[in-house]
Amino acid sequence: ACGDDTSGDGGDDSLLAQLQEEGKVTIGFANEEPYAYEEDGELKGAAVDIAKAVFAELGVDEMDSQLSEFSQLISGLQAKQFDVITAGMAIMPDRCENVTFGEPEMTYGEGLIVQKGNPLGLESYKDIAENPDVTVSVMSGAMENDYLQDEGVDPSQIQSANDIPATFAAVESGRADATTGTEMTVKMALESAGTDALEFVETFEQPDVEGIPSYGAAAFHPDEQELVDAYNEKLAELKADGTVAELLEANGFSGEMNMVPDDITTEQICNGEV
């Protein structure tokens, strides 16, 4: 479904019409449980399930997937390697300049992983900032890079990793003292890592920075406003009839806590008003 319409049939050549004709949409994702990931050859996750439900309503029943590093999702979309990013990506004003986000599908906060017993007593990003010897592994392109620095963490304390498993490997091997990602991301990754050497900081204090809580959404190429409008219309129906809450819960989120309040819009978030 990706790329230019070369059919030359003189028909409706919008991307939406192309997807409907092919019955297939190509999604970009970064293998991050529980947002969008592959398991047993199947695409799973809250963002994937919500997008699947929306596209089914639009008459597009098949999903093709393109695995990408998180930091390459936006450039991949710009290069039209996929039709939509379904990664639970947070709507952020700077990102809004490069992609068009759909309306928010979920809200989430942050989590922190440290070595067993939390030997350095880290309970917030400020705790990391206050001890310049502490290092934290963060996925490239993730908002946590900004949140940490907003809380005073020096860039030299931040180690970049390509994906979530690499952030965990850094802490497990002792190369980094901590890693952070969305609360659900690090909880699920800790489960998959199956290690006793690490722990989730239950007493973690959410950073008091712009962008928290985050609102995750699908993201589209800025040329495709018609597709975004169609997506948003069906998404609103699936929020109203409880389907979105159900899909969030089925993926381990709390339907209530992670549901986006009705009065929060992508436009407001992009304008920095939320």
Ligand X SMILES: CC1=N[C@H](C(=O)O)[C@@H](O)CN1
**Interacting residues toward ligand X by CB under 6 A:** 32, 35, 70, 87-90, 139, 142-144, 181-182, 216
List, as one string, the DSSP characters of 191-210. HHHT-SSEEE-TTPPPP-ST
- For residues 1 and 216, which CB has a smaller minimum distance to ligand X in the complex? 216
Helix (H) or strand (E) holding 219: strand 214-220
Q: How far is residue 68's CA from residue 135's CA, in Å, rounded to a whole number? A: 26
Q: Residue 203, exposed/middle/buried by CB under 10 A (0-12, 13-18, 19+)?
A: exposed
- In whole angstroms, the minimum distance from the beta carbon of 87 to ligand X comes to 6
Q: For residue 69, which of 165, 168, 2, 149 has the smallest C-alpha distance?
A: 165
- In whole angstroms, the minimum distance from the beta carbon of 233 to ligand X comes to 24
- In whole angstroms, the minimum distance from the beta carbon of 107 to ligand X comes to 11
- For residues 16 and 259, which CB has a smaller minimum distance to ligand X in the complex? 259
Question: Which sign does the torsion angle of CA 249, 188, 143, 178 carry?
Answer: positive
- In whole angstroms, the minimum distance from the beta carbon of 182 to ligand X comes to 5
Residue type (1 letter), 146 = D
Residue type (1 letter), 130 = E
- In whole angstroms, the minimum distance from the beta carbon of 92 to ligand X comes to 7
